Amino acid sequence: MSRIGNAPVSIPTGVTVAVEGNVIKVKGPKGELEQSFDAAISVKVEEETVLFSRSSDLPDHRSKHGLYRSLCAGMVEGVTAGFKKELELVGVGFRAQASGQQLTLALGYSHPIIIEIPKEVKLTAESQKGSNPKVTLESHDKQLLGTVAAKIRSLRKPEPYKGKGVRFTDEYIRRKAGKSAAK
């Protein structure tokens, strides 16, 4: 029995959920999202909740039962409150500058890196003297936000010896000791 899949998704006021064929559409104050789902999973919208059920007990159907319920819950949360990710640039000379939907990064390479951010993601970059530069990404689409944040992080992953690189602000980097001097 899927505990996650059986839990109903509550619909807050101001949010509309519609099921058309194998597509679920969620519309709210922050935006509009849609997600297709497997035919083995049935979706019912009742008054203030969305209920998910599966046709059989096959392992594939059991896993998708919880998956689509979680995706729907994320969509409802995204169109009401939205999501936010913060990245921190740790390293000497590392800089970030935002102009519109373009992010320019100086990450210790011989050239600046320019990334075009999708219009659904709100971008801000701040640099204060004495602290590491921060890049903040906000969006109603959790999946897109995670993809963009992972792409930025992949440009210079944090290394374990000095901790330099692009990391999430709440991320813990496991540090290693360097070489010891020969005796």
Mean pLDDT of the chain: 92
For the chain, what are the domain ranges? 3-80, 83-168
- Quote the Cα angle for 126-127-129, to 5°: 150
Backbone angles phi, psi at 73, to 5 degrees: -60, -40
In the predicted model, is pLDDT for residue 51 greater than 80? yes
Domain 3-80 grouped into CATH 3.30.70.580:
no
Q: Which of 144, 165, 183 is closest to 34 using CA atoms?
A: 144
3-80 and 83-168 in the same fold: yes
The type of residue at 100 is G
Q: pLDDT tens, 85-98?
A: 999 999 999 999 99
In the predicted model, is pLDDT for residue 14 greater than 70? yes
Please give the pLDDT value at position 180. 78
In the predicted model, is pLDDT for residue 183 greater than 80? no
In the predicted model, is pLDDT for residue 116 greater than 60? yes
Tokens of 51: 């209920």
In the predicted model, is pLDDT for residue 177 greater than 90? no
In the predicted model, is pLDDT for residue 143 greater than 80? yes
SS3 string of the chain? Answer: CCHHHHCCEECCCCCEEEEECCEEEEEECCEEEEEECCCCEEEEEECCEEEEEECCCCHHHHHHHHHHHHHHHHHHHHHHCCEEEEEEEECCCCEEEEECCEEEEECCCCCCEEEECCCCCEEEEECCCCCCCEEEEEECCHHHHHHHHHHHHHCCCCCCCCCCEEEECCCCCCCCCCCCCCC
For domain 83-168, the CATH superfamily is Ribosomal protein L6 (3.90.930.12)
Q: How confident is the model at residue 181 (pLDDT cuts 50, 70, 90)?
A: low
Are the C-beta atoms of 178 and 163 separated by less than 8 Å? no
